[in-house]
């Protein structure tokens, strides 16, 4: 798996073994409250924990061909570009302050990164104040994703989103080796 953002500062360690699932039955994998990946034939995931206990996950999705992967990437980008609206709707439904702010933090020729700062509602995200980071890179017939959360309740140095283009580059490098 790729070098993780702020590896030294956050002390990322694997949280369990690498898992792999056949998705040829058509299942979609939910990424967060806003987006899901559909059309993949294989899903691999490696979980991580920072020294402060914050979770992260790195995922690889394989598709039947490059066109299917590109289509999934476009859907994910569209979903994430609507994530602020969706997140605030979820907050309203759950009776939580509607404070979600989602920003695109970096783009490259084959990838996009976002940060969502909000009061989470539990379920897919932890409850309480947090920033969720999502990176997606499309290469050929696969997508590589990396997600991590900065939870207000767990002290850790804040992630510098100015490095997000470099994170996308590291994920692209990983994907090129797949």
Q: What is the pLDDT of residues 82-118, one digit of tens each?
A: 999 999 999 999 999 999 999 999 999 999 999 999 9
Residue 135, phi then psi, degrees to nearest 5 = -125, 135
Share of the chain above pLDDT 90, in %: 66
Residue 69 in any domain: the answer is: yes
pLDDT at 104: 98
Would you state the pLDDT for residue 123?
A: 77
* CATH code of residue 30: 3.40.1000
- The dihedral region occupied by 11, where left means phi > 0, alpha psi between -120 and 50, and beta the remainder, is left
Assign 1 a pLDDT band (cuts: 50, 70, 90).
Answer: very low
Q: How many domains does the chain have?
A: 1
Distance of CA 133 to the CA centre of its chain: 6
Query: Is 11 within a domain?
Result: no
Tell whether 125 is covered by a domain. Answer: yes
What is the Cα–Cα distance from 22 to 44, expressed in whole angstroms?
A: 9
Mean pLDDT, rounded, of the chain: 89
Return the half-sphere exposure (C-beta side, CA atoms, 13 A cut-off) of residue 2. Answer: 29
Least confident of 25-34, 127-136, 148-157: 148-157
For residue 7, is it within any domain? no
- Domain membership flag for residue 135: yes
The set of residues, in sequence order, having a beta carbon less than 8 Å from that of 129 and lying 6+ positions away, is: 118, 119, 120, 151, 152
pTM: 0.90
Domain for residue 65, yes or no? Answer: yes
Q: With contact defined as beta carbons under 8 Å apart, do 20 and 44 qualify?
A: yes
Whether residue 2 lies inside any domain: the answer is: no
The parent domain of residue 67 ranges over 19-177
Contacting residues for 133 by C-beta, under 8 A, at least 6 apart: 5, 105, 113, 114, 115, 146, 147, 148, 149, 150, 159, 161, 164
The verdict on residue 10 lying in a domain is no
């Amino acid at each position: 798996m790729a070098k993780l953002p702020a590896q030294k500062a956050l002390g990322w360690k694997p949280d369990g073994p690498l898992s792999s699932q056949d998705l040829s039955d058509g299942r979609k994998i939910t990424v967060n409250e806003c987006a899901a990946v559909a059309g993949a034939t294989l899903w691999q995931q490696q979980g991580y924990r920072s020294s402060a206990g914050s979770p992260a996950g790195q995922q690889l999705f394989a598709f039947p061909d490059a066109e299917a992967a590109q289509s999934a990437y476009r859907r994910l980008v569209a979903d994430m570009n609507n994530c602020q609206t969706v997140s605030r709707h979820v907050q309203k439904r759950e009776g939580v302050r509607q404070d979600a702010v989602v920003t695109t933090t970096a783009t490259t020729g084959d990838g996009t990164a976002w940060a969502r700062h909000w009061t989470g509602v539990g379920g897919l995200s932890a409850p309480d104040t947090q920033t969720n980071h999502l990176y997606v890179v499309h290469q050929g017939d696969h997508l590589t994703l990396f997600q991590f959360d900065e939870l207000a309740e767990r002290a850790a140095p804040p992630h510098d989103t100015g490095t997000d283009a470099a994170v996308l580059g590291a994920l692209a490098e990983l994907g090129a080796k797949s």
